[in-house]
Amino acid sequence: MDGLLADLPADLWTVPYVGARHPGSPATAARPAAAHGANCQLYAYEVLRRFGRRVPPLRSAELWADRTATFPVPHPEPLDLLLFSPDGSAYGAHVGLWMAEDTILHLCREVGRPAVWSRADFAARARYRELVGIKRVRTAEREPGSPAPP
């Protein structure tokens, strides 16, 4: 394992999947640490935070509609958010992070802990078969269309 995955802190590899712990939930507000469990969005946002990127506590449909903290892109780069669903809808979409070429880090109920899948792994499962789209987090150093930092 190399690159961003190798830089992921050990505690983020043991986060349990807990569907009720999502952005904005009372359970998350009371105990915000991802170590208490997370859903896919909360997990992705915590990984981004560890790499110095911040996303407001948006649910998947809100994330897809957001143009303030994120923007859509046609092709993923490391730490971009990918949204998957069974029907192409952003409502209730599953969120993962592009880490490297065809390497997506995510947290799902099926595995119960963080997992690394390819796009083919997602396409093989009915609940994730369609890529809704890709979102990039805005940073002060980077605007839409600018090249990736080294």
User: Quick one: fold of 3-137?
Assistant: endopeptidase fold (from Nostoc punctiforme) (3.90.1720)
What's the pLDDT at 33?
A: 78
On whether the CB atoms of residues 123 and 101 are closer than 8 A, the answer is no
List, for residues 52-98, the tens digit of each pLDDT value.
999 999 999 999 999 999 999 999 999 999 999 999 999 999 999 99
Q: What is the mean pLDDT of the segment spanning 36-65?
A: 95
Residue 141 pLDDT level (bands cut at 50, 70, 90)? low
d(CA 40, CA 23): 10
What's the pLDDT at 108?
A: 96
Burial class (CB in 10 A: 0-12, 13-18, 19+), 142: middle
Domain boundaries, the chain: 3-137
d(CA 11, CA 46): 11
Predicted model pTM: 0.89
The Cβ-side half-sphere exposure at 139, using a 13 Å CA radius, reads 15
What's the pLDDT at 140?
A: 67
